[in-house]
Amino acid sequence: MSHQSKSDLHTTAQCGCGVQDAEEGERKAVAVDPDAKARNIRRLRLIEGQVRGLQKMVEEDRYCADILMQISSVHEALRSVGRELMRNHLKHCATAALQAGPETAEPMYDELVELMYRHSR
């Protein structure tokens, strides 16, 4: 991994996949497609509004079947964001880890299996 300054990390949105940012204590993606990020943020804001709508429906004692249909819609919207994130993870993070060699590839294989298992439920 190259040595990048804190400002480089924020301007390029890149660092080693799964590597912790010492100051923030969180892992960062190798790269994030800016268009995908914008789409995901837009979708998540819409989902947030849908969830607020669900809360209002429950408060207003709306018909259960109508609420359940809206819940199904929220689930599908979240799955859509998940698919986009999985694609980005495979395209950037997993690819970089696999190309780096067996030391990083083996943990990535385990992570991918776990992600696919959890994501497919």
- pTM given for the model: 0.72
pLDDT digits (tens, 9 = 90+) for 28-69: 887 888 999 999 999 999 999 999 999 999 999 999 999 999
State whether residue 100 is helix, strand or coil: helix
DSSP string over 30-94: S---HHHHHHHHHHHHHHHHHHHHHHHHHHTT--HHHHHHHHHHHHHHHHHHHHHHHHHIIIIII
Q: Mean pLDDT across the chain, nearest whole number?
A: 83
What fold is seen in the domain 6-119? Answer: Methane Monooxygenase Hydroxylase; Chain G, domain 1 (1.20.58)
Rounded Cα distance between 1 and 4, Å, is: 9
Q: Where are the domains of the chain?
A: 6-119
**pLDDT band at residue 77 using 50, 70 and 90 as cut-offs:** very high
| pLDDT number for residue 32 | 86
